[in-house]
Amino acid sequence: MITVLRLGHRPARDKRVTTHVALAARVFGADAVLVSTRDPALERTVRSVVRRFGGSFRIETGVPWRQTLREWHGPKVHLTMYGLPIDDLLSRIPRDDLLIVIGAEKVPRDVYDLVDFNVAVGNEPHSEVAALAVFLDRLMGGRSLRSESTARIRIRPNPRGKSVEGSGH
């Protein structure tokens, strides 16, 4: 079970990025995303994709993040450019009930102490979506992209156009 905790979501400003965080989390093997700020529109968007493309990925918004972090029983990882290199830490990170924390704007200082591992996907700034995708892909050894789809809509790989089977309704 892998859960992503998204901190600092500002509904007006971060709508697209947090949607992408959730969709990337789902495709790259996470089971759920928890978002610190309540955002029903974001929940609807993500649940609609899950309905059409399958699986049991969950989204919850308005989550008290500090309490979640303090009370989490499994291992906790914070993705940050200030952390230790992913290649040095990966083999030490347990997979069971893993919580992965990502930020939006400046992440509060105590987060660095509330987690077990501060992991850098390179020590330069880029994006929470990129950091999450690379981290999950490495953690899963690339397996998540090879898993069989349970989607109502199925996209057939096509060298040039779009081949879609099924119906999303």
For binding to ligand SAM (CB under 6 A), which residues are involved?
Answer: 79-81, 102-104, 106-107, 120-122, 124-128, 131
In this structure, the chain runs to a length of 169
**Cβ-Cβ contacts under 8 Å for 19 (sequence gap 6 or more):** 42, 45, 46
| Closer residue to ligand SAM, CB minimum distance, 6 or 26 | 6
| Closer residue to ligand SAM, CB minimum distance, 125 or 161 | 125
- Least distance (Å) from ligand SAM to the CB of residue 123? 6
Q: Nearest 5 degrees, angle CA 88-CA 80-CA 99?
A: 80
Ranked by CB distance to ligand SAM, the top (closest) residue is 103
Strand order in the sheet with 117-120: 58-61, 32-35, 2-6, 98-102, 76-85, 117-120
- Least distance (Å) from ligand SAM to the CB of residue 60? 19
| Closer residue to ligand SAM, CB minimum distance, 5 or 59 | 5
| Closer residue to ligand SAM, CB minimum distance, 3 or 53 | 3
Helix (H, G, I), strand (E, B) or coil at 19: helix
